[in-house]
Amino acid sequence: MTRSVSENVVAPMARGTEQRDTYLKGLIQTVKGGVPADLALPELRSRAEALLKEQTFPHTRQEDWRFTDLSPMLDIAFACADGPQGDTTDIEARRLPETAGAQVVVVNGQVSPELSQLGGLPQGAIVGSLRDLQNHPIWSEKLVQRLGQASGHHDVFTALNTVGFQDAVVVWLPPSGVMETPLQILYGAEAADTPVLAQPRCLVVAETSSALTLIEDYWGHASTAYFTNAVTEIWLEANAQITHSRLQREGSGTFHMAKTVVTQARDSQYIGTAVDFGARLSRHNWEIYQTGEQTTTKLYGLGAITASQRADTHSLVALSHPYGTVDQVHKAIVDDKAHSVFNGRMVVAQAAQETNASQLNRNLLLSDKARIDTKPQLEIVADNVKCAHGATVSQLQADEIFYLQSRGISAPQAQRLLIYAFAMEMLETIPVATLRSRLTKILAQWTGA
C-alpha cells in the first residue's frame, strides 16, 4: 500500500563533517514542518532545538557511535510521515487477547483513536493522545512537568524527536492504581512512495504504589527506506512497579533509533525486556536513573539478526542512592554478515552504598563474516558495593552438537535446538503468555525449526 507524505524533504548529502551538519539542519526543518498547530509546545521544542544546534549528525569518530555507521542515511531524502490510513489487517493480527480494552494504536507516529481500544481501563487511569489531553486538568497538574524533562534528553535523536513529534501516547496511573490488564501500544509503520520519518513518543507516569504491565510493539513491512525515531519516558514514583516488554520487528528498509528513559523513585521496581528482530539498522538507548533508596532494576535483552542487519544496544544505569539493586542480561545471536553492538554502563555514585549490581552480555556468533562488539562498563565511586560484569562471545560447541546427535538428533536440528535454548531464557521474562508464544514462533522460524 502506498502512502502520501508531506513536502518537507531532507536532500541527500555527502559524508563530510560540513555535510553532516547541513543534513542535521535539514532534518530539523523537516520535523518542524510536520508539527501540528494544536501541539506547539514552544518552550519545550525551542529548548530541544537549541541543543541540536550545538551538535552534528553522529559519526564513527564519536565514542558512542564508534561501531555504528549512519552514513547510509545521508543518501536518503526523508519526509514527515502522514497519519494513519488504509488497511488495518496487520494491526488486528498483532492485538493480544490479554490486552483487550487496553490497546493504543499509533501509525506513523500519530495516535489513531479509531483503531485504539480503551474501554477496559481502571477507574482514575488516563490513557490517550496528548493532542486530546492538553485541556485535561491532569496535563497542567501532573504531566507538563514530566514531558521532555527526564535525564538524557540532550542526545541528537532524542532532541530531534522533541523538536518534531506530532503526537504522544500518555499513560497516567493514580496513586495506588493497579492496572490488572496489560496495556499494549502498537506502533505501526506504513510504507510510502517517498522515504518517510516517523517520531513516536510515549510518556508514562506511575504515581505512588501504582502498578502496570506495559507492552510496546514496533512493527512494519517496509523494504524501502523508513526512519523511526522513538522516545519513551517512564516515571515511577515511590513503591510503583512497571513490567515493560519492548519488541522491535520493523521492515528490512527501516532505520530504527529509540530511547527508553526510566526514572525511579525510592522502593520502585522496573523490569524491562527488549527484543530486536527487525530493521536494517537499529539502535536502542536504554537509560535508567535510580533517584531513591532501595530501588530495583532488572533489564533483559535479546537480539537475533542476520543478512546485513545492524543492531546496537546502549544502556546506562545510574545509581545515586543506597541499597539499589540491578540485574542486567543481554543476549545476541548474529548470523551471516550481521553486526551486533552492546555497550552497557553502570555508574555507582559515592552516595550509592550497599549497591548490588550485575551485568552480563552473552553473544552467539553463527558466521565467520558476522561481527560482535561488546563493551560492558562499571564506573564505581562508592566503596561498599557488590558489583560484577562480564561478556562472552562464542560459537556453537561441537561437543554439544555431538551429544545431541548421540541421542538421535540430526546436526542441523541440534544446532537449531541450541540456538533456541540460548534465546528462550530472555523470552521467558515476558509475562504475557500470548506475546511470549508469538515471539517463540518467530524465533523458531528464524532458526528454521
Instruction: Express as a percent the part of the chain with pLDDT over 90.
Output: 72
Query: What's the half-sphere exposure (Cβ side, CA atoms, 13 Å) at 163?
Result: 27
**pLDDT tens track for 260-308:** 999 999 999 999 999 999 999 999 999 999 999 999 999 999 999 999 9
Cβ neighbour number for residue 401 with a 10 Å cutoff: 19
**pLDDT tens track for 60-79:** 999 999 999 999 999 898 99
On whether the CB atoms of residues 194 and 222 are closer than 8 A, the answer is no
Confidence of residue 410 (pLDDT cuts 50, 70, 90): confident
Grid coordinates given for 400: 554439544
Q: Which of 145-154, 195-204, 368-377 has the lowest mean pLDDT?
A: 145-154
Grid coordinates given for 440: 517463540
Cβ neighbour number for residue 131 with a 10 Å cutoff: 16
* Burial annotation 53-92 (CB, 10 A radius, 16+ → b, else e): eeebbbbeeeeebebbebeebbebebbbbbbbeeeeeebe
Name residue 202's beta-bridge partners. 169, 232
Higher per-residue confidence, 342 vs 410: 342
Q: CA dist 6 to 34, 170, 211, 227, 424, Å?
A: 8, 25, 40, 15, 42
**pLDDT tens track for 217-235:** 999 876 788 999 999 999 9
Q: CA dist 36 to 31, 290, 420, Å?
A: 10, 34, 45
Please give the backbone phi and psi of residue 284, each rounded to the nearest 5 degrees, phi first: -120, 115
For residues 309-335, give the mean pLDDT.
97
On whether the CB atoms of residues 328 and 317 are closer than 8 A, the answer is yes
How far is Cα 311 from Cα 362, in angstroms, rounded to an integer?
Answer: 14
The predicted pLDDT at position 84 comes to 65
Q: Which of 17-26, 315-324, 438-447 has the lowest mean pLDDT?
A: 438-447
Between vectors from CA 408 to CA 402 and to CA 409, what angle results, nearest 5°? 65
Higher per-residue confidence, 241 vs 8: 241
Q: CA dist 214 to 181, 185, 186, 241, Å?
A: 9, 8, 11, 11
**pLDDT tens track for 182-211:** 999 999 987 677 889 999 999 999 999 999
Among candidate residues 422, 425, 426, 420, the one with its CA nearest the CA of residue 441: 420
For residues 34-48, give the mean pLDDT.
93
Residue 8 has pLDDT above 60, yes or no: no
For the chain, give me the number of helices (H) and strands (E)? 9, 22
Grid coordinates given for 234: 517512564
| pTM (two decimals) | 0.93
Confidence of residue 14 (pLDDT cuts 50, 70, 90): very low
How are beta strands 126-129 and 169-173 bridged, if at all?
A: antiparallel
Cβ neighbour number for residue 119 with a 10 Å cutoff: 9
Instruction: Express as a percent the part of the chain with pLDDT over 70.
Output: 94
